[in-house]
Amino acid sequence: MTLGGPEIKRLLAEHGLRPSRALGQNFVADPNTVRRIVRLSGVGEGSQVVEIGAGLGSLTLALAESGARVVAVEVDRGVVPVLREVVADTPVEVVESDALTLDWDDLLGRGGEWALVANLPYNVATPLVVRVLEEAPQVSSLLVMVQREVGERLAAVPGDPAYGAVSVKVAYWTAAAVVGRVPATVFVPRPKVASVLVRLVRRSTPAVPATDVPYERLFQVVRAGFGQRRKMLRRSLAGLVEPEAFAAAGVAPEARAEDLGVEAWGRLARCP
């Protein structure tokens, strides 16, 4: 069982709740959509799943239905009691916490692999995904529903219009792809933007080993390049990368930031 539009509207009315704009709340109100998310995530019996922004529990119920162990994180203290009521007869652990500040080791422990599956609020999607990649190595895969523009940015490759510094950071940690589109009609309330499903699978080792280039050095160079993305790299990286480093890295000094994949950025950042 999961929740459709009538059930969500009933729960909101019974508990005197209104979706919060500040928290970017748009509740999924279509059983087919949440089951599709679960299917695309690949989780099932025996999986350990953390869900961020569980809301009223539409996706939570579908995850529990798959046989996975689910930890559902929700920040809205008004919604949390309703979520607990909805999942009361399932083996779901509900945690009231802000995913942008919680301690991932405390939540997930230090052993075992986890999947993150979530309908992420638009206003926190990018920083949350980056924080999970940087701070929660227990999470080996993510399947997130996000605003289309955000999703395209997360999964972009060199040459894509959406490609930017965040795309490089995602590629450093994972292989990412947009795996589906979601219409606005499946949400309550209906958002003014389209959504996509993005799957991210963590690499066994980062695309640029830290032994070759420290993480902070790499992304200092990446940020500088994209900070002046209309300029040629020899100009945008002046003072950070010496002119002779371009030849050593096999990168044309006339290239622009959107031309380089993560490995090329690594070669460039390796050179002083």
Percent share of the chain, pLDDT over 70: 100
Q: pLDDT: is 26 or 199 the higher one?
A: 199
Residues 76 and 163 in one domain: yes
- Confidence category of residue 121, pLDDT binned at 50, 70, 90: confident
Q: In whole angstroms, how far apart are CA 229 and each of 25, 82, 147? A: 33, 46, 24
Q: What is the pTM of this model?
A: 0.94
- The residue assigned the tokens 């909805």 is 86
Print the domain residue range for 257. Answer: 215-270
Residues 114 and 82 in one domain: yes
Q: Is the pLDDT of residue 18 over 90?
A: no
Residues 164 and 89 in one domain: yes
Residues 21 and 124 in one domain: yes
Residues 111 and 18 in one domain: yes
Residues 58 and 101 in one domain: yes
- The residue assigned the tokens 């989780």 is 43
Q: Is the pLDDT of residue 172 over 90?
A: yes
Q: What angle do CA 140, 135, 259 make, to 5 degrees?
A: 80
pLDDT of residue 272: 65
Residues 70 and 137 in one domain: yes
CA distance 193 to 178: 16
Q: Across all residues in the chain, what is the average pLDDT?
A: 94
Residue 101 lies in a domain: yes
Residues 266 and 157 in one domain: no
ω before 191 within 30° of 0 (cis)? no
pLDDT tens digits for range 196-228 = 999 999 999 999 999 999 999 999 999 999 998
**Residue at a domain's end among 202, 229, 253:** 202
CATH of the domain at 232: 1.10.8.100
Residue 208 lies in a domain: no
Residues 192 and 240 in one domain: no
DSSP lists the bridge partners of residue 74 as 96
User: For the chain, how many structural domains are there in total?
Assistant: 2
**Residue at a domain's end among 202, 226, 244:** 202
Residues 143 and 242 in one domain: no
pLDDT of residue 118: 97
Residue 207 lies in a domain: no
